[in-house]
Structure 1
Amino acid sequence: MNTNSNTEKLVLVTGGAGFIAVHCILQLLKAGYRVRATLRDLNRGAVVRAMLREASLEAGDRLTFIQADLSGDAHWEEAVKGCTYVLHVASPTPKLDFKHEDEMIIPAREGVLRVLRAARDAGVSRVVLTSAIGAVVYGHPKQTAPYDETFWTDTTHAPAYQKSKTLAEKAAWEFMTREGGSLELSVVNPAAVMGPVLGPDYSHSIYLVRNLLSGKMPGCPKINACFVDVRDVADLHLRAMVDPKARGERFIASGGESIWLVEVARILKENLGEAADKVKVKQLPNIALRIAALKDPMVKSMIPLLGIPMNLTSAKAINRLGWSPRSPQEAILAAAESLIRLNLL
């Protein structure tokens, strides 16, 4: 990327303290862009700068913060002002204690529309939306062929968080068709996000590695997943932001073929020496998960996934945008090593 031509360009990153967002900010700054990040609480700005320093980058005045919340209109007009691009990474995180699924669905959908409307009105050239494979893989008949971007989750058979991601992404595409004007949209749908943690904020996928390393998991449920490194997710956001071939397209971000969770345990056990002493490389019987699901809503959301192949293909991102992701093993080990190094177990 030609950094010289980027120095005048300002990029807005929403939800600036999030795991994927911080890695996006890091790569944008390295590529020469100026970055403005939205935070619900401006005190979190210091945390973001500390995470960037953990990655050996001093942001200085090329990074600024603005207070904005997806649930309200305040400050969005100001947030997008003067921006060439917007990376809309912010999303309500999975809630476990919700009374009704609308507590996740409405903020996700309304938040996306708020950002798109503000971006269109400010003359932003393109928005890249962080969706999820939760908007792709749920509610289909069992299949062995990998899922690609033509699949959409059937929301009648999806847990609340995945339903919120699906409905928010669909709302974004409908907005673009109906009233997008000259604004362009690209979407990134990451698999389970691993890779290096820069501080105490990280994706809920990484709790799997943390719980295995700390011995909290007595074994692994028979669940299949694709994994991707957060550095590659950020890289794909930047490619989707500038490449003309990304306009109006969605891209699955997966580091390779899906693996069973017991394989994740094995990767940790075989590569981390005594740091992985507490990892149990053991397949749990399905009945154990069903019993645990009676008390734990997070476990309950896994039940529909038991024994189901969840393979994805990122051929579109690789062939069209020249994306080249790390392997799942590298992503998993990078997450584990950073948790150990930062004493976050």
Structure 2
Amino acid sequence: MAETVLVTGGTGYVAGWCIVTLLERGYDVRTTVRSPAKGEAVREAVSTAVDPGERLTFAVADLMSDDGWADAVRGVDYVLHVASPLGDGDSSDPDALIRPAREGALRVLRAATTEGVQRVVMTSAANASSPASYAEEGVTDETLWTVDDPSLPAYRRSKTLAEKAAWDFMAAYDGPTQLTTVLPGGVFGPILSAANLGTVNIIARMVKGDMPGAPRIGLEVVDVRDLADLHVRAMTVPEAAGERFLGTGEFIWMRDIARVLKDGLGEAGGKISTRQLPDFLVRLASIRDKPLRAITMSLGRRNRHTTAKAQRVLGWTPRPAAETVLGCANSLLDRKVL
């Protein structure tokens, strides 16, 4: 009999690929949605990559409510807690992100430990394991924890505080359920649907010509398919219990991403600008452009994360950034998102 995995937030970009990967590897999957109507959209998206048949089912649950979580975890073997609110860079109300991220993680853990599932794999972020200043040189690993500060972007704070709350919960728990966390970088790659594009919007804006140039920002690009694979490895490898794993990829400047896309897309990349935007222009534009506000502190960032632990313990290797961003752009073109 196949084991069953609960994936939270089934409408999300990463969650969708986790569902696909699990189904491809023979697991039954249950995923949470905030309303029954959203289940059909998830099934349709997943069906573009794999036939879910009767092996994909749904549970209605929300990060901000206790309702539904006991039923969601009943009878499952593992939980991939991927769901988390996304921000737009506006830090006027950081609790709008922090509260659902932190309280949602605790709701999932309480339900999972009550049911006695084998392991919960929680999606955090590399930003929860970063130095205070992005401009610092060097390579850091999972032993570093981001020091929370109100000046940090709300999304970064939400991921850090949610992960800390999860580990604090498990420190006080005495039972069979294990916790592992995965800390991804900038997630790109093929899409399953045009909904909830998340970070993929960066590639879409570049290809559409909506970006007059590239800000001086470096991204640790990880392919969404590799990230899904990392979650499943973290779920099944015995040595992964109680560990954090960085899931970042190759460090690449946004200007180099633009060049890869322009060279690789041919005529479809004709609107892409490879101009380097001066930092002062980015800061000036961020006054009116909310999404830019969260990235201005990343200008010139050179600190990187190492995935040596994931490679050593889990046997995980991410694909090159160029392959990922080109695959992402071609997927957007194929699905006529652009």
Same fold per superposition (TM over 0.5):
yes
Partner residue in 1 for 2:85 = 92
| 1:274 aligned residue (244, 267, 271) | 267
1:193·1:203 contact (CA, 8 Å) conserved in 2? no
- Compute the displacement of 1:264 (Å): 0.5
User: Residues 182-201 of structure 1: matches in 2 within 5 Å?
Assistant: 182-201=176-195
Bigger shift: residues 209-218 or 322-331: 322-331
1:52·1:59 contact (CA, 8 Å) conserved in 2? yes
Whichever residue aligns with residue 205 of structure 1, its letter is T
1:195·1:231 contact (CA, 8 Å) conserved in 2? yes
In 1, Cα distance between equivalents of 2:88 and 2:298? 19
In 1, Cα distance between equivalents of 2:174 and 2:334? 45
Partner residue in 2 for 1:255 = 249
In 1, Cα distance between equivalents of 2:29 and 2:5? 5
In 1, Cα distance between equivalents of 2:107 and 2:166? 10
Query: Aligned pair 1:155/2:148, yes or no?
Result: yes
Bigger shift: residues 136-145 or 260-269: 136-145
Partner residue in 2 for 1:34 = 28
- Compute the displacement of 1:8 (Å): 2.6
Identity of aligned residues (%): 46
1:95·1:104 contact (CA, 8 Å) conserved in 2? no
| 1:222 aligned residue (202, 216, 219) | 216
In 2, Cα distance between equivalents of 1:167 and 1:305? 20
* Deviations 1:3-43, CA, capped at 9 Å, x for gaps: xxxx4311100001111111111111111111110000221
Partner residue in 1 for 2:237 = 243
In 1, Cα distance between equivalents of 2:133 and 2:240? 26
Query: Aligned pair 1:305/2:298, yes or no?
Result: yes
- Compute the displacement of 1:140 (Å): 3.6
Query: What is the total number of aligned residue pairs between the two structures?
Result: 337
Query: Aligned pair 1:179/2:164, yes or no?
Result: no
Whichever residue aligns with residue 215 of structure 1, its letter is G
Gaps of 5+ in 2: none
In 1, Cα distance between equivalents of 2:21 and 2:174? 27
Partner residue in 2 for 1:71 = 64
- Compute the displacement of 1:321 (Å): 0.5
Whichever residue aligns with residue 48 of structure 1, its letter is V
For the structure 1 residues 334 and 202, does the alpha-carbon distance in structure 2 shift closer, same or farther, using more than 3 Å as the test? Answer: farther
Return the TM-score normalized by structure 2. Answer: 0.97
Whichever residue aligns with residue 333 of structure 2, its letter is I
Partner residue in 1 for 2:46 = 52
- Let me know the Cα RMSD of the aligned residues: 1.3
Partner residue in 2 for 1:336 = 329
Question: SS of the counterpart of 1:91?
Answer: coil
Gaps of 5+ in 1: 1-6
- Compute the displacement of 1:203 (Å): 4.2
For the structure 1 residues 141 and 253, does the alpha-carbon distance in structure 2 shift closer, same or farther, using more than 3 Å as the test? Answer: closer
| 1:291 aligned residue (284, 290, 315) | 284
Question: SS of the counterpart of 1:46?
Answer: helix
Partner residue in 1 for 2:132 = 139
Partner residue in 1 for 2:163 = 169
1:140·1:154 contact (CA, 8 Å) conserved in 2? no
1:140·1:153 contact (CA, 8 Å) conserved in 2? no
In 2, Cα distance between equivalents of 1:180 and 1:72? 25
Whichever residue aligns with residue 190 of structure 1, its letter is P
Partner residue in 2 for 1:120 = 113
- Compute the displacement of 1:153 (Å): 1.6
Bigger shift: residues 213-222 or 306-315: 306-315
1:226·1:311 contact (CA, 8 Å) conserved in 2? yes
Question: SS of the counterpart of 1:128?
Answer: strand
Question: SS of the counterpart of 1:87?
Answer: strand
Return the TM-score normalized by structure 1. Answer: 0.95
In 2, Cα distance between equivalents of 1:277 and 1:88? 39
In 2, Cα distance between equivalents of 1:271 and 1:166? 36
- Compute the displacement of 1:213 (Å): 0.1
In 2, Cα distance between equivalents of 1:96 and 1:232? 26
* Deviations 1:286-311, CA, capped at 9 Å, x for gaps: 11111111112211111111112142
Whichever residue aligns with residue 74 of structure 1, its letter is D
* Deviations 1:168-215, CA, capped at 9 Å, x for gaps: 000000000012522100111110001111101344221111000000
